[in-house]
Every structure is written in C-alpha cells, then in structure tokens.
Amino acid sequence: MLNKLISLFLKGVAMGTANVIPGVSGGTVALITGVFVRLINAIKSFDATAIKLLGQGKFKTFAQHTDLVFLSTLFAGIITAIVSLAHLLEYLFANYPTYVWSYFFGLVLASVYFVGRTVNKWHSGAIISFIIGAGIAISISVLTPASENSSFFYLILCGIVAMCSMILPGLSGSFVLILMGNYQLVMIDAINHFDLNILLPVAIGAVVGLLLFSRFLSWLLKRFPDSAIALLSGFILGSLGILWPWKEEITQQFGDKTKVIAYQWLLPEVNAQLFFALLFIILGILSIAATEIWAGKKEKK
C-alpha cells in the first residue's frame, strides 16, 4: 500500500513539474504515467451522490466514492513539485533552455508512441481522431492572441476552456488564457487585487468545465476507447511544436511578468550544442522507455 502511494505521489510530482514548464500540460504526464483515466473518473465522481454522502456525515463512504486517497496523494505531489521545482526549472530555462527543451521534446516524442500503442485497433475512426487531435493542438500553438474581454459570460468561457485545456494532454491552461486575451486580466490583475468580479465568473467556468468535461472524457473513453486515445495521442503529437528546442520566444509584458505568446521556430546549427541537445532528446526517450518497462514488470507481478 505504501509503495503504491509513493508511486502515485511521484506521478503527481511529474505532473506538477510539467505544469511549471511553459506550454506543457500535466494531462500529458497523467496519460503517460497511466493515471489519466482514473483521474478523470475520480473528478467525475464529485456528483449529487458525493454531496449527499458528505451531508449525511458518511465520510468513509464519501472518500471511497470520490477516490479521495488517490486524488489527495496525486495533488500532494503536484503541489510539492510546483513549490519546490519552480525555481530550479526557472534557473535551468534561463541558463540551459535548449537542453531542457530537448529533454522534454524526447519525453513527449516517445510518449506519442507509447500512448498510441495502447490503441487496440487503428481503424479509420481512430486515425481521423488522431489527425484531428494533432491539427487542433498545432492550430492552437500558432494562433494570434485575442484582445482583452472582461464581460461576465466571456470570463465564464475563459474558465471553462482553460480548465478543459489543463485536463487535455498537450494543451496548457495559461497558454490558452493568453490566446483568449485574458491572461493579464485573470492571472495578474484579478489575482493580485483579489478582484471577485473577475475571479468569480472564471471560477464558475472552471468548476463547470472540470465537472462536465471530465464526464464527457469518461464517456468518450468508455464508448470509443480507441478513438479517444488516438485523439489524445494526436494532441500530444501536436504539442511537439511548442517543445521544439531551437526557437526564439515572442513575448509580451503582462504587468511585471513576461509571458511567451508565440514562437519562431529555427533550424539547429551543426555544433557542439546540437550534439548535446540530441543526447538530451535520447535521454528523454530512454526515460519514457524505462518507465514503460518498469510499469510492465510491476503489472506482471
């Protein structure tokens, strides 16, 4: 039991680490590490039954119904990573950006294969879903940010879309808020001044998006498992453009913070840096392969 909790905590750490990386989704890591479906089902379980159990004081049954131990352990790992690794990753990105991007490019590149091979049958529906997923992720990465909009219903939409993108592998919630034009309004101004007129509709949208979208994904994974996994694999493949190690960041100032709003992709120069970057890509690929081999041995026990 303890070993399972430690393993789950470490998967949460990996998800939290991904959330710190610009343009990377924790959903990608959840899918790679095999907790994605369970996470979606656990979130979905916060329903009328859960509220009723909580109201009746049946806390043990409530915990079982919502898979609370799983969620608590996973989120403990996520929070631990965000708090402890943010400064380290900030230092690495500031001093060794190409090598960091290379490692994560290798991780995600390998995960496309390992996630894709879990599709039982690559029928026409699965292939079309894969192409659609990749196309959506690529399109999002090259969109021009919209202008700021503080209307109530648009803020609700921002909350819904940002939360859905955080769940989906390959998409970053903060990056989507930038594209929708409301990153500074929500993540900088509203949070710094605790402006409930902005935060409340975004929170409403986030909760609605989380509960409804988790149900939709759960239904999709049960009803069309091959097409659903193919779609998610496509999302991961489409996110590789953001992770391409050789690029120039196009940034925009949001108050006292500078955020990446787009990238200009470059071809690598043949030099020592290219050699080391390729080594880090291979290291990323081997990391995923080793994780898959380790997970496979555990399943056989």
Would you give the distance in Å from CA 281 to the centre of its chain?
Answer: 20
How far is residue 216's CA from residue 207's CA, in Å, rounded to a whole number?
14
pLDDT of residue 191: 74
Q: 124, 136, 99, 91: which is closest to 227 by C-alpha?
A: 124
**Two tokens at 185?**
């309004």
Q: Per-residue confidence at 201, pLDDT binned at 50, 70, 90?
A: very high
Summarised one tens digit per residue, pLDDT across range 215-246 is 888 888 889 989 988 998 888 888 787 778 89
CA distances from 194 to 52, 163, 186, 187 (A): 32, 20, 10, 10
Q: Per-residue confidence at 131, pLDDT binned at 50, 70, 90?
A: very high
Kindly report the pTM of this predicted structure.
0.70
Mean pLDDT for the chain overall: 82
Q: Per-residue confidence at 110, pLDDT binned at 50, 70, 90?
A: confident
Q: Per-residue confidence at 68, pLDDT binned at 50, 70, 90?
A: very high
> Residue 4 above 90 pLDDT?
no
